Structure 1
Amino acid sequence: MRPTRPPTAELADRYRTRGAWRDRPVAGYLRRAAATWPDALAVVDGERRMTFAEVDRQATALAAALHTHGIGQDDVVSFQLPNRAEAVVLFQAIMKVGAVAHPIVPIYRGHELRFILRQARTKIVFVPGRYRGFDYPDLYRHLRDDLPELREVVIVGDGADESAPPALTIAWETFLSTAGPDPETTVRALPDPDPDQVCLLLYTSGTTADPKGVLHSHNTLVFENFSMIDRFALNERDVIFNPSPVTHITGVNCALVLPFLLGAPVVLQDLWDPALALRRINGNGASFAIFSTPFLTGLLAAVEAADATAPSLRYLVCGGAEIPDDLTRRAAGRLGVVTRMYGATEGPSVTAADRWAPAGIRTRSDGTPLAPTEVVVSDGSGGAAPPGVLGEVLWRGPDTCLGYLDERLNDAAFTPDGWFRSGDLARFDEHGALHIEGRIKDIVNRSGEKISVHDVENLLGEHPAVAEVAVVAGPDDRTGERACAFVVTSGTEELTLEDIGAHLTAREVATQKIPESLFVVDTLPYTVSGKIKKFALREWLRDREGNAQTAAGMTVLAVHER
C-alpha cells in the first residue's frame, strides 16, 4: 500500500534534515528494547505481566504465522480487539512482517464493517470471542459472503469454529501453531519495510456518510511518539496508563508504539471503571496518561470518594473536550498536572502545553504547536488570521498523515502545498496558544469518539414515521456531547427513542451512534437556500428556555431523553 498523498520532496527533506523522520521502521524499536532491556516490564494487563523480551518473542512467532498465511508487505491485517496484551503483540507482529495494521473500534457492527473491510481489502482479521455480551465470531460469520477477500477470522478467546470446512474462524492458539519450527529465522529473513511505507490504516468518521481511512507511515508514526516524549520529557522511568481503546489513535500511540520507543511499560485498562483505574495507577506507579475529559471527571470522582491521591502521576493530558475550571482546580490538588493537547487521527499531536506552561495556557487553551509542525488559523483568503480572530485551523508536520485510502478525499482535505484542512474553528492568543472554539465538521464528539451525523440522518430518514430529520451535537455532562435528533414526523403516529433505537440497531449501526435525545418538532429551521440551520438547533440545546428557542423558529411537540 503506497501513500496516496506523499509530502513534497521539500517537506520530506526538511523533516529528515531536522531529525524528525528517523528512517527506522516501527519494528526496529521493539528489537532495540528487547536487546537493551530484555527483562524490563513492557505490558501490564490485569494480572498478566510481559517483559520486552517476551513481547518480542511472541510477536516474532505471530509474525512468522502471518507470513505462513501469505501476509506480506502492503497486506492489511485488521483487528477489532479490546485493550488486551494480545493486541500489543499483534500490532508488533504486523510491524515485523511489514504489513499494514488496521485497528477497528469494537463498537462497529455490520453496517460499518462491510464498508471498511471491503475498502481495505482485508485478508485476516483478529477479533475477541464474546465481548461485552456481544458475539463477534457470529457477526463475522454473517459478514462472510459480503467480504470475498477475507480468508480468516482469528478468535482471541472462545468462539472459534474450526469444525466445518471451509472454516472461516480459527483460534489464536491454532493460528500461532503455524509459525513453524524457527520463527526467528523466518522473520529475520524478511525485508525491512521502507520507512515511508504505509504501516497504519485507521478509519475516522467525519461529515461524510462513510468512514475515512487515514494512512500513516513508519516515519509519521514514530515522529508522533517522539514528539510526545520531547514535549512531556518522558523517559524509561515513566509508566504509561492507557484506558483509551487500542483501536483509537490515542491507544495506538500510548499502548502499541510509545512503550517501545521509550523503554517504559504500559498499564492497560479495558472497561472503564474509575475506581479500578485509581487502583491500577497507584498499584503500578503510573505517571503519564492521555485521555478525554470524561475519563478525568470519573477518575477525580473516584479519588475524591476514596479521599485519596495518585502521587505517582506526573501528567494527565486531555483532549477532545473542554476542561471546566472547577475540574482543573480540584484535579490539581489530587492528581497532579493537568494539561491539554489538540490533534486528530490525521495529525495526532498538533499542539500541546507542558507542565511548565502557565495554568491559563495549560487548561484554558489547547497549547502551542509541537515543532516542526506548523499551524495557522486561516483568514479565509489564503492568509493567516491575526491573534484573536477566528478561522479554520490548518496544519502540516512530520506526523501529518499521508492522505486517505480513498484518494478522492485528498483534494478537499489538503492544500497543494501539504496543509491539512482540519474543519475546526480556532484563534491564536497573544501568547501563541491555540484556542479551539468550534467545528465546521458536522460531527458529535462523544468521549473523544467522533461520530458522523450524516450517516445517522440518512438511516433515520428511512423510518416510515420520519419526514424530516436533523442530528446535531448537544451537551452531555458525562460524555461531553451526545447525538440529538430533531424529527418532523410524517403523520400523527408517535415516535420514541426506543423506536429510532430499534430502527438503527436493525441496520447494524454502532450503539454509540444512536441518538440519546429525541425532539419531535413541528418544523425544522431552514435557510433561504433550503439548508437546515443546525446552528439554531445547537443554540436551542444550549439554552432551551431562552431566546434560542425563538431563533430556531420551531415548536417542540415531544421530548424523549435518557
Structure 2
Amino acid sequence: MRPTHSPHPDLAEQYRAAGHWRDRTVDHFVERAAALYPDAVAIIDGDRRLTFADVERESLRLAAALYDRGVRPGDVVSFQLPNSADAVIVFHAIHRVRGVANPIVPIYREREVGFILGQARTKVALVPGTHRGFDHQAMYAALRQRLPHLELVVTTGAASDSGAADLRSLIDSATPEMIETVRALPRADPDDVCLLLYTSGTTADPKGALHSHNTLVFENSSMIETFGLDERDVVFNPSPVTHVTGVNCALTLPFLLGAPVVLQDVWDPETALTSVLEENASFMIFATPFLRGLLEAAISRGVRTPSVRYIICGGADIPDSLVTRATEVLGTVTRMYGATEGPSVTSANRSDDPYLRTGTDGRVLAPTEVVVSDGAGSSAATGVVGEVLWRGPDTCLGYLDASLNDEAFTGDGFFRSGDLAYFDARGGIHIVGRIKDIINRSGEKISTHDVENELSEHPAVTEIAVVAGPDPRTGERGCAFVVTRDAVDLTLEEVREFLSARGIAMQKVPESIFVVDSLPKTASGKIQKFALRDWTRDRTTAPPQMQAVTISAAHER
C-alpha cells in the first residue's frame, strides 16, 4: 500500500536532514532489542511472560506462515484482539512480512468492522474466539460471505466450525525453509505505509489514517526523549492495543526502549494498582477514567506508587483537581493532546512549570508545529480561540480514502484538527472544544450523526438529536433527545436492543434518553444542538430555546 497523501516534499527532506526521520523500520527495532536484550522480559500478560527473543522468534514464525498463506508486501492484515501477548506477536509478524497492520478497536461490531475490512480490502484478519461474551468468529464468518478479498480468518481462541484457522497451529506450521524465505525478503522502505489505523468514528464512518515506519518510529522516539525514558522503565498499558495509545505504548515503544510492557485487558482499578505496585511500573498513557480509577484505588488502600515517574493523560477532559491530587498520590501526571493522525502534539514534563502540567494541555512538542487559526488565514492572538492546526514528523500521511485529504490538510501540510483551543501568555495550550459534533467517551470519539442515522430508523422515532453531555466517569455521554409518534415512551433498554440488532457497538448507545414534544430549531428548521448541550450541563437554568420544550420522559444510567 502506497501513501495516498504525503508530507510536503520540503517537509520530508527537512525531517530527514534534522534526524527526526531515522529511516529505520519498526521490525528493525524488534531485531535490535532481541539482539541486545534477548533474555530480558518484553511482555507481561498475566502469568505469561515473553522475552525480546521470544517475540522476535514467534513473530518471525508467524510472518513465515502468513507469507506461505499468500500475504505479500503491501497487503492489509487486520486484527481485532484484546490486550495480549498474541497481539504483540501479530503486530510484528505483519511488519516482518512487509504487510500493513490494521488494528481494529474491540468495541466495533459488524457494521463498523465490515466497513473497515471492505475499504481496506483486508486479506487476513486475526480475532479472538468469544471475548467478553461476544462471538467474534461468528461475526467474521458472516462478513466473509460478502468480502471475497478476506481470504483467511485466524483465531487466538479455540477454532469453531466458522472456518477460522488457529493461531498457534499457524505459528507451528512454519518450517525452516519458510522462515528463510521471509528472512530473505528485502527490507521495507521506511516511507512505506506500515499502519492503517481508523479513527474512532468522528464522522458517520471511521477514517483510516496512514502511518509509515518513519512517522511511527518518530512518535515513539519523541516520547523517549520528552520523558527521559530508558531500559530501566516499565510501561503499564490498560488502553486497547488496537487504539493509537496502545499501538504506541504496548506494541512499539517497548522495542525502541528495550523495556517491558505490562498489559491489562479488562479494566479493573484494583487489578491495575496491584500490577503497578508488583511490576514497578513507571510510565503509562491513558484516558481520564483510568486515572480516576487508579487514584481512587490507591486512596482506598492507603498506598502510594513510588515507582511511577509519569502518567500521561489524554483523550477526554481532565479536571485540574484530578491532575493535582493524582500527582500527589501516584506520581507526576501531565496532560497530552494528540489524535490518531498525530499522537503527541502537546504535553509537558517534570522540568516544565507545574502550571503547564496541571492547568493547561501542555506546550508544543517540538519539532511539531502548532497554529491556532483565526479562520482567516492568520494565527489567532494570545487568548483568542481558534481551530488547532499542526504538522510534524509523526503526522499521518493522509487517509486511505484520498478524497478526504484536501479537506483535512492545508497545502503546506498542516492537519486541520477540528479542535478549538487558545494559547495563553505562558505558551500553554488550552483545548476548549471541538468543531466536529462528536461524543468523547473515555477517549473514544463517537459520531452523533452515526447514532442519529441508526436510531432514526426506530419505528417510534419521528425526530432525533444526539449530543454530548457531561459524565463524571467517562467525561462525556451520549444524550438522545427524541420526538416519538403519539408521544409514546422510549426506554434505554429498547434503544439498546434496537441498536444492538443493527450491529452498533454498545459504547455508541446513548446513556440518557429524553422523550420531548419538540426540538429547539432555527427559523429555517435546523435543530439547535447547542441548546441541548447547554441544558445537559445545567438543567436548573434552561436556555431560552429549551423553555418551550416539554420533556415527557427521561431515562438515564
Q: Same fold (TM over 0.5)?
A: yes
Query: 2:60·2:179 contact (CA, 8 Å) conserved in 1?
Result: yes
Query: 2:460·2:488 contact (CA, 8 Å) conserved in 1?
Result: yes
C-alpha separation in 2, matches of 1:58 and 1:273:
29
Q: Match of 1:59, SS?
A: helix
Match of 2:33 in 1: 33
Match of 2:397 in 1: 402
Match of 1:464 in 2: 459
Match of 2:62 in 1: 62
C-alpha separation in 1, matches of 2:3 and 2:526:
36
Match of 1:374 in 2: 369
C-alpha separation in 2, matches of 1:203 and 1:18:
29
What amino acid maps onto 2:96 in structure 1?
K
Query: 1:537·1:552 contact (CA, 8 Å) conserved in 2?
Result: no
Correspondence for 1:197 among 186, 192, 196: 192
- How many Å apart are 1:493 and its aligned residue? 2.4
Deviations 1:413-451 (A, max 9, x none): 111111110000000011111100000011111111111
Deviations 1:357-378 (A, max 9, x none): 2222102211111111100000
- How many Å apart are 1:530 and its aligned residue? 2.8
Is 1:256 matched with 2:256? no
Deviations 1:208-267 (A, max 9, x none): 211111110000000011111111111111000000000000000000000001111100
C-alpha separation in 2, matches of 1:15 and 1:21:
6
Match of 2:446 in 1: 451
Q: Match of 1:191, SS?
A: coil
What amino acid maps onto 2:323 in structure 1?
T
Match of 1:316 in 2: 311
- How many Å apart are 1:514 and its aligned residue? 0.5
Give 1:161-310 correspondences, 5 Å limit: 161=161, 168-310=163-305
What amino acid maps onto 1:523 in structure 2?
S
Query: 2:22·2:214 contact (CA, 8 Å) conserved in 1?
Result: yes
- How many Å apart are 1:183 and its aligned residue? 4.8
Match of 1:525 in 2: 520
Gaps of 5+ in 2: none
C-alpha separation in 1, matches of 2:347 and 2:88:
26
- How many Å apart are 1:548 and its aligned residue? 2.7
Query: 1:342·1:366 contact (CA, 8 Å) conserved in 2?
Result: yes
Deviations 1:16-43 (A, max 9, x none): 0111101111100011111111111111
Query: 1:60·1:183 contact (CA, 8 Å) conserved in 2?
Result: no
Q: Match of 2:145, SS?
A: helix
Match of 2:71 in 1: 71
- How many Å apart are 1:327 and its aligned residue? 1.8
Query: 1:293·1:319 contact (CA, 8 Å) conserved in 2?
Result: yes
What amino acid maps onto 2:29 in structure 1?
Y
C-alpha separation in 2, matches of 1:371 and 1:279:
36
What amino acid maps onto 1:59 in structure 2?
S
- How many Å apart are 1:553 and its aligned residue? 4.2
Give the direction of change, closer, same or farther, for the CA distance of 1:374–1:405 in structure 2 (3 Å limit). same
C-alpha separation in 2, matches of 1:67 and 1:504:
39
Deviations 1:164-209 (A, max 9, x none): xxx7311112212332234542221011111111000011134421
Deviations 1:312-335 (A, max 9, x none): 000000002232233223212210
Is 1:118 matched with 2:118? yes
Moved more, 127-136 or 486-495: 486-495
Q: Match of 2:377, SS?
A: coil
- How many Å apart are 1:89 and its aligned residue? 0.6
Match of 1:84 in 2: 84
Give the direction of change, closer, same or farther, for the CA distance of 1:252–1:295 in structure 2 (3 Å limit). same
C-alpha separation in 1, matches of 2:481 and 2:296:
33
Q: Match of 1:7, SS?
A: coil
C-alpha separation in 2, matches of 1:49 and 1:559:
49
Q: Match of 2:458, SS?
A: coil
Match of 2:431 in 1: 436
- How many Å apart are 1:534 and its aligned residue? 1.1
C-alpha separation in 1, matches of 2:166 and 2:551:
53
TM-score normalised to structure 2 length: 0.98
Correspondence for 1:352 among 347, 352, 355: 347
Query: 2:58·2:171 contact (CA, 8 Å) conserved in 1?
Result: no
Is 1:9 matched with 2:4? no
Query: 1:540·1:552 contact (CA, 8 Å) conserved in 2?
Result: no
C-alpha separation in 2, matches of 1:143 and 1:363:
46
Query: 1:88·1:255 contact (CA, 8 Å) conserved in 2?
Result: yes
C-alpha separation in 1, matches of 2:321 and 2:113:
40
What amino acid maps onto 1:440 in structure 2?
I
- How many Å apart are 1:404 and its aligned residue? 0.6
C-alpha separation in 1, matches of 2:365 and 2:322:
26
What amino acid maps onto 1:47 in structure 2?
D
Query: 2:324·2:358 contact (CA, 8 Å) conserved in 1?
Result: no
Match of 2:494 in 1: 499
Query: 1:33·1:261 contact (CA, 8 Å) conserved in 2?
Result: yes
Give the direction of change, closer, same or farther, for the CA distance of 1:322–1:493 in structure 2 (3 Å limit). closer
Give 1:117-156 correspondences, 5 Å limit: 117-156=117-156
Deviations 1:449-481 (A, max 9, x none): 111111110011111111110111111111111
State percent identity of aligned pairs. 63
Match of 1:164 in 2: none
C-alpha separation in 1, matches of 2:422 and 2:172:
55
Deviations 1:518-543 (A, max 9, x none): 01111111223332211111100000
What amino acid maps onto 1:476 in structure 2?
D
What amino acid maps onto 1:155 in structure 2?
T
Is 1:160 matched with 2:155? no
C-alpha separation in 1, matches of 2:150 and 2:380:
48
What amino acid maps onto 1:211 in structure 2?
P
TM-score normalised to structure 1 length: 0.97
Query: 1:525·1:552 contact (CA, 8 Å) conserved in 2?
Result: no
- How many Å apart are 1:502 and its aligned residue? 1.2
Is 1:511 matched with 2:506? yes
What amino acid maps onto 1:144 in structure 2?
R
Gaps of 5+ in 1: 162-166
Between the two proteins, the alignment pairs up a number of residues equal to: 557
C-alpha separation in 2, matches of 1:244 and 1:111:
23
- How many Å apart are 1:355 and its aligned residue? 1.5
CA RMSD, Structure 1 to Structure 2 (Å): 1.2
What amino acid maps onto 1:367 in structure 2?
G
C-alpha separation in 2, matches of 1:261 and 1:42:
11
Query: 1:80·1:106 contact (CA, 8 Å) conserved in 2?
Result: yes
Is 1:555 matched with 2:550? yes
